[in-house]
């Protein structure tokens, strides 16, 4: 976590191994080499640690069987929850973008491409079936709205507002942000409540018939 905070705050180039060693209570930079051969290895391990849990939650949300709209909505909620619980991830993303020209070959997370492909496949499947009616044919419009909004909200919004009483991570504000992000993705992807309400109504009627049947059998 110490390395995560330093890399998020200073970026890769400006973070020194001496700073990391001091932050974790090691007396010398050389002591870090017992765990990591160089700064790149430390940085890679830090990214894996920071994004591994997030990727696992997103993968689970997108892969669990069920309606495509619900899977995407669960992924959106998992994304917001993870960033709110670990705000340094938002700052790491901004640093990654800022350093992209200097480090073009560095991927932010080893499984990021697989997650994107999963989302793209769901987008195309949902559009083909009519479950999704996106405003734009490019799926990254919706994805960028979700990712960008939460990253900006967590990492930058408080410092740009000229008042000192706004707390982005306060429970009420977090709930409002999650509600707004879900509403945005539903609009961009053309997700309607009508099919799900109809499905719920059918399930309710089926359950009622079963109860009536059981009572009649008595």
CA gap 173, 13 in Å, rounded: 34
Q: Which of 17-26, 36-45, 143-152 has the lowest mean pLDDT?
A: 17-26
Look up the CATH number of the domain holding residue 136. 1.10.357.10
User: Tens of pLDDT along 55-64?
Assistant: 999 999 999 9
Domain extent for 126 = 2-217
Q: pTM for the complete prediction? A: 0.80
- Percent pLDDT > 90 in the chain is 48
Total structural domains in the chain?
1
* Residue of higher predicted confidence among 218 and 22: 22
Residues 6 or more apart in contact with residue 72 via CB below 8 angstroms: 62, 119, 122, 126, 185, 189, 191
- Per residue in 106-153, pLDDT (tens digit) is 677 777 788 889 999 999 999 999 999 999 999 999 999 999 999 999
Res. 194 pLDDT band, cuts 50 70 90: very low
The pLDDT assigned to 216 comes to 55
pLDDT of residue 198: 44
> Per-residue pLDDT tens for 159-185?
787 666 778 899 999 999 999 999 999
Question: For 186-208, what is the mean pLDDT?
Answer: 62
Q: What are phi and psi of 26, to 5 degrees?
A: -90, 145
pLDDT in the model for residue 200 = 45
Give 191's pLDDT tier (boundaries 50, 70, 90): very high
pLDDT score at 72:
96
Q: Where are the alpha helices (DSSP H) in 16-166?
A: 17-23, 39-63, 68-85, 88-98, 112-129, 140-155, 157-160
Strand locations in the chain, DSSP E? none
Provide the pLDDT for residue 199: 47
Segment 8-21, tens digit of pLDDT: 988 888 888 888 88
Q: Looking at the predicted structure, is the pLDDT value of residue 207 above 80?
A: no
């Amino acid at each position: 976590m110490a390395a995560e905070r330093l890399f998020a705050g200073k970026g890769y180039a400006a973070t020194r191994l001496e700073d990391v060693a001091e932050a974790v209570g090691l007396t010398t930079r050389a002591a870090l080499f017992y765990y990591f051969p160089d700064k790149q290895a430390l940085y890679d391990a830090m990214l894996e640690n920071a994004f591994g849990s997030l990727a696992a939650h997103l993968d689970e949300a997108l892969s669990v069987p069920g309606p495509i709209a619900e899977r995407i909505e669960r992924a959106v909620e998992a994304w917001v929850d993870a960033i709110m619980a670990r705000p340094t991830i938002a700052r790491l993303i901004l640093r990654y973008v800022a350093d992209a020209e200097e480090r073009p070959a560095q991927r932010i997370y080893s499984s990021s491409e697989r997650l994107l492909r999963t989302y793209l496949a769901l987008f195309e499947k949902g559009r083909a079936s009519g479950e999704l009616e996106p405003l734009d044919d490019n799926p990254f419009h919706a994805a960028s709205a979700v990712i960008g909004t939460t990253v900006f909200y967590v990492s930058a919004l408080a410092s740009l507002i000229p008042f000192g009483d706004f707390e982005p991570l306060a429970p009420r504000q977090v709930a409002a942000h999650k509600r707004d992000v879900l509403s945005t993705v539903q609009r961009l992807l053309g997700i309607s409540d009508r099919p799900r309400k109809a499905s719920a109504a059918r399930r309710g009627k089926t359950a009622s018939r079963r109860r009536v049947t059981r009572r009649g059998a008595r």
